[in-house]
Amino acid sequence: MEQKIYSTAGKEVGSVKVSEALFDVKWNGDLVHQVVTSMMSNTRQGNAHTKDRSEVRGGGKKPWKQKGTGRARHGSRRSPIWVGGGITFGPRNEKDYTKKVNKKMRNKALLTILSQKLRDGEIIFIDELAFDAPKTAQAKEALQNVAKASGEAMLFDKKRNAAYITTDSYDVNAARSFSNFNNVKVDEFRNLNPIDVLRFKYLVIENPQEAITQLEARIK
């Protein structure tokens, strides 16, 4: 399958052949859901923690004697029914939320998402994303040019989660140039993952031939 390559000047500069094994995988919603929810669960820290009756302060002395007061009997102020007492069935920080995700499943889910995005016209290939210095105005112009050339206006107009831009290597100037955009994320292609690809409407891939080579090596 041939896909067009655009320059940041807004011109079509060539094409790249993408493998059907990578970008023509049948959609599998169940697999994508399982992988994405598992990955999100693995990032959950589980810091919420409450103290049970054995951990709260006080309660060393019986509040009042067992009989003769006319009040209900109580043995400790640490009881969960007392204000300031322990919590029953509250969240505990020793709970482990991690879920195992096989490498093959994670790779298959990524290819499934990439394939669907390509079918929907939401993957845009560009030749190079080069900045001599961090320049927000230059980054804005480049994004606008690519959006116009590809016919995807939302790449530039969408206010939130518009574009996930991947580069073949870390470029500090590119990262800083787009840092003022709240709807764009810039990262290396090797860090591509299902969650970020789904979170953004468009995936912009710099140097697609190198990216495809990395992707092929990754799924072996």
pLDDT digits (tens, 9 = 90+) for 123-153: 999 998 888 899 999 999 999 999 999 999 9
Enter the pTM of the model. 0.83
Q: How many CB atoms lie within 10 A of CB 20?
A: 9
Tokens of 140: 């804005």
Say what the pLDDT of residue 171 is: 86
Examine the pLDDT at 95 and tell me if it is beyond 90.
no
The H-or-E segment that residue 147 falls in is helix 136-150
pLDDT at 94 over 90: no
Tell me the C-alpha distance between 38 and 195, whole Å.
10
Q: Is the pLDDT of residue 220 over 80?
A: no
Architecture of domain 2-44+98-218: 3-Layer(aba) Sandwich (3.40)
pLDDT for the residue numbered 96: 87
Q: What are 5-30's pLDDT values in tens digits?
A: 999 999 999 999 998 999 999 999 99
- Cβ-contact 61, 120 below 8 angstroms: no
Any residues with CB less than 8 A from the CB of 165 and at least 6 apart, and which? 129, 174, 178, 184, 185, 186, 187, 204, 206
The mean pLDDT of 177-200, rounded to a whole number, is 94
Query: CA 190, CA 156: separation in Å to the nearest integer?
Result: 24
pLDDT (tens digit per residue) in 30-62: 999 999 999 999 998 888 999 999 999 987 889
Q: What is the model's pLDDT at position 131? A: 87
Give every CB contact of residue 20 below 8 A, 6+ residues apart in sequence.
1
56-71 per-position pLDDT tens digit? 998 788 999 999 999 9
Q: Where in the chain is the domain with CATH 3.40.1370.10?
A: 2-44+98-218
188 sits in which H/E element: strand 184-188
